[in-house]
Amino acid sequence: MSLPMRGLSRLLLRNLEGGQALTLQLGGSQRHASTMPVEKEGKVLHPDLLNRQVRETQYAVRGELYLRAEQLRKEGKEIIFTNVGNPHALGAKPLSFIRQGGVGAYTDSRGNDYIRKEIAHFIEARDGYPANPDHIFVTDGASVAVRMCLNALIRNSVDGVLVPIPQYPLYSASISLYGGSLVPYELDESKGWGMNIDTLKKAVQQARSEGKLVRGMVFINPGNPTGQCLSADNLKELIEFAVKERIVLMADEVYQENIYQDERPFVSAKKVMHDMGEPYASQLELLSFHTVSKGTSGECGLRGGYVEMTNIHPGTIEEVYKCASINLCPNTMGQIAISTMLNPPQPGDPSFEQHHKERSEELASLRRRARMVTDAFNSLEGMTCNYTEGAMYSFPQIRLPPKAMEAAKALGKAGDVYYCLKLLEATGISTVPGSGFGQEAGTFHLRTTILPREEVMADFVDKFKSFHIQFMNDHR
């Protein structure tokens, strides 16, 4: 009879209930935190320290032969690709009824070469520092990029990832799905949802005392659902912390275009890292995410996103490439949307005026809507709300009266779920309860987007206000 866990070479587990001393060693990589190497050759994300299942995964269709063929092609040799069933690349004409064009062939699993160069060019122009197209992977939306990275990082539940509370549930869901441990750090609502380094340090200490190995940290700038924008100084502290503690930073920067104040323009973690110089510029392991779904592009349905990997071990990039290959490639329309979003018309181009006008008007309108929503929430009894400095959301706190809490409890629901369901039934407004994002115990929030058009925003605000006044009266 075989062992119910593959690669289990030595077993020694500490049994919580029985108090027996055991040790766990799975395939050489899954050990107890105290004996597991934090890094290897200066890298947390060393190929030897990745998820064992990621490393053991084989995928031959785009394996050694494909890589050699690509190399020969780049050297100018004519290659007949018969390794993958990719009809359009071999000259099959798209059926006219379906469409005419040139987006029907698989691209490289990291995305089209030319588009990755365009992304690198955008990053260089934004930050003033070089970007390597081979360290950029295009994906079917940024969520897929985030999941790909977390899947490689997380080996078992010893591996912890710092996640802000409140957070975007992509992170909690993916960490759970890959069997890792979420290490929460709270944002400070009383300080505009600011990130405090002492809170981070305490979260890491706490996790370590519980036997966790904190390998990664997610931050969202501008924040989702909280809307705050981080200053360069705050990012600097964060980078110092991450390098000192050997933590890989995952920078969710998908809302970088959505800024509604002038004090803290968007600055990328990569730029701050380079501005800081050594040792940070070469020691911070950084994964930065961007998308076509947000900003003024808002092309959610096309599913285009990317990750830029900075100071990531080349062997790890190879492992991620292998795993990306299993899905063959990101969709081509999303890739094209990235290309056009990052390379907008320049002054003198025929479409410059129209594009500039559309974009500026949308950003100005979003700024007005952020203000309208925040003001409305702050005008209500029992509600307080930080201003939406960036992103697309408002995240007010609701102080629920005891009678509402009792009614929620009677239905077996959390207070904010009860509130949001009542809101939905009464007004048709579909929001997300704060408990879906995490919130300080005993507090209740909800997330709403600021996306209803200005012409319907007044109606939205009126409906919300009327509901809330009625709700408070009903539960007084």
**17 with 26: CB under 8 angstroms?**
no
* Shortest distance in whole angstroms from residue 89 CB to a second copy: 8
> Among residues 264 and 445, whose Cβ is nearest to a second copy?
445
Residue 355 binds a second copy (CB under 8 A): yes
The string of DSSP codes covering 339-372 is HHHHSPPPTTSTTHHHHHHHHHHHHHHHHHHHHH
* Shortest distance in whole angstroms from residue 255 CB to a second copy: 8
Chosen residue from 44, 161, 230, 420 binding a second copy by CB under 8 A = 420
Contacts of 186 by beta carbon, 8 Å cutoff, 6+ apart: 164, 165, 199, 440
* Shortest distance in whole angstroms from residue 319 CB to a second copy: 11
> Among residues 235 and 302, whose Cβ is nearest to a second copy?
302
* Shortest distance in whole angstroms from residue 34 CB to a second copy: 8
Stretch that binds a second copy, among 122-130, 195-203, 389-397, 465-473 (CB under 8 A): 389-397
CA 476 to chain centre: 40
Q: How far is CA 476 from CA 382, 404, 405, 424, 473, in A?
A: 12, 8, 11, 20, 5
Stretch that binds a second copy, among 266-274, 374-382, 450-458, 467-475 (CB under 8 A): 450-458
Chosen residue from 29, 53, 132, 443 binding a second copy by CB under 8 A = 53
Structure tokens at 406: 């009792």
Chosen residue from 344, 367, 368, 465 binding a second copy by CB under 8 A = 344
Q: How far is CA 406 from CA 257, 402, 472, in A?
A: 42, 6, 13
Chosen residue from 164, 216, 415, 433 binding a second copy by CB under 8 A = 433
Which value, to the nearest 10 degrees, does the dihedral of the CA atoms of residues 370, 230, 208, 148 take?
70
Chosen residue from 77, 278, 348, 410 binding a second copy by CB under 8 A = 77
253-292 binders of a second copy (CB under 8 A): none
Residue 430 binds a second copy (CB under 8 A): yes
DSSP 136: E
Helix (H) / strand (E) containing 472: helix 454-474
Q: How far apart are the C-alpha atoms of 406 and 22, rounded to whole Å?
A: 46
116-155 binders of a second copy (CB under 8 A): 140-141, 143-144, 147, 151
x/- string (CB under 8 A) for a second copy, residues 86-115?
A: xxxxxxxxxxxxxx---xxxxx--------
Q: How far apart are the C-alpha atoms of 474 and 476, rounded to whole Å?
A: 6
189-248 binders of a second copy (CB under 8 A): 209-212, 224
Whether cis (ω within 30° of 0) applies to the bond prior to 279 is yes
Chosen residue from 43, 45, 66, 289 binding a second copy by CB under 8 A = 66
296-315 binders of a second copy (CB under 8 A): 296-303
Q: How far is CA 92 from CA 7, 21, 95, 129, 405, in A?
A: 45, 63, 9, 41, 63
* Shortest distance in whole angstroms from residue 127 CB to a second copy: 23
Q: How far apart are the C-alpha atoms of 35 and 24, rounded to whole Å?
A: 10
Residue 408 binds a second copy (CB under 8 A): no
* Shortest distance in whole angstroms from residue 282 CB to a second copy: 31
Residue 184 binds a second copy (CB under 8 A): no
Chosen residue from 109, 228, 234, 332 binding a second copy by CB under 8 A = 332
> Among residues 270 and 290, whose Cβ is nearest to a second copy?
290
The string of DSSP codes covering 308-348 is EEES--HHHHHHHHHHHHHT----HHHHHHHHHHHSPPPTT
DSSP 259: B
Chosen residue from 199, 384, 435, 443 binding a second copy by CB under 8 A = 435
Q: How far apart are the C-alpha atoms of 361 and 350, rounded to whole Å?
A: 19
* Shortest distance in whole angstroms from residue 281 CB to a second copy: 33
> Among residues 53 and 283, whose Cβ is nearest to a second copy?
53
* Shortest distance in whole angstroms from residue 386 CB to a second copy: 17
Whether cis (ω within 30° of 0) applies to the bond prior to 265 is no
Residue 351 binds a second copy (CB under 8 A): yes
Residue 178 binds a second copy (CB under 8 A): yes
Residue 397 binds a second copy (CB under 8 A): no
Chosen residue from 341, 372, 380, 398 binding a second copy by CB under 8 A = 341
Structure tokens at 462: 């009126």
Q: How far apart are the first and last CA of the chain?
A: 65
Residue 167 binds a second copy (CB under 8 A): no
Q: How far apart are the C-alpha atoms of 7 and 31, rounded to whole Å?
A: 13
